[in-house]
Amino acid sequence: MIPINELLFFALAAFLLVISPGPNMIYVISRTLSQGKVSGLISLAGVICGFFFHILLVSFGITALLFAVPYAYLVLKFAGTAYLLFLAYQAFRPKGKDVFKVNAYAPHDSRKKLFMVGFLTNVLNPKVAFFYLSLFPQFIKPEYGSVWMQSLELGALQVLISSSVNFMIVISAAGIASFFNKNPLWLKAQKWLMGSVLTCLAIKMAFSHPK
């Protein structure tokens, strides 16, 4: 089992991933605001299934990579550091995406299409794939037990965090959009806080060492 302090650090990184605007969040919010909460939840179900797809692929891939390539840990560590710094840059950037802007002319999709588009949006999302590939190896150690089981443990935690946060976003999307439209300074403060935390995580990861 992975130690609790390592899981908490991973949970923070997973939380920052899910609250940073990306294809998954934009899709879920847009469907919620344009078609209602039920459509948002159906879209979210598709996104969650996409997470499980990534987890299975990465679990098998990381298991093989860490045992086959001696320097795989270092490569993935620096890739993870670079990715966190990229996310921090996206947060600090003055002109980011307005995830609460709705296209009034967007068509109303069927429940099947909502689910499938949510699934494919996540499966084809490089942000999620790179998160798994770059961060998972930082928390997986052979001395903690089965590498494959550790991958599933981290994946389950990430899905739980992502599902919970996105569920709250779906339920309160209209209220959140109204609040940020009336209080733009709060949105700026949130972006700077997230960027600062991501930078700290990147520095910590850059100086971490395998046990």
Q: What is the pLDDT of residues 111-169, one digit of tens each?
A: 899 999 889 888 877 667 777 777 777 788 878 888 788 888 998 999 999 999 989 88
For residue 63, the model assigns a pLDDT of 53
| pLDDT at 129 (0 to 100) | 72
Task: Give the residue, 70 or 175, on which the prediction is more confident.
Answer: 175
Global pTM value: 0.70
DSSP conformational letter for 71:
T
- Residue identified by tokens 């990534």 is 54
Mean pLDDT of 199-204: 75
Query: Quick check: 76 and 133 in contact, CB under 8 A?
Result: yes
Residue 204, C-beta contacts closer than 8 angstroms, at least 6 positions apart: 9
For residue 111, CA distances in Å to 44, 108, 136, 155, 158 come to 11, 9, 33, 26, 25
**Band of residue 71 on the pLDDT scale cut at 50, 70, 90:** low
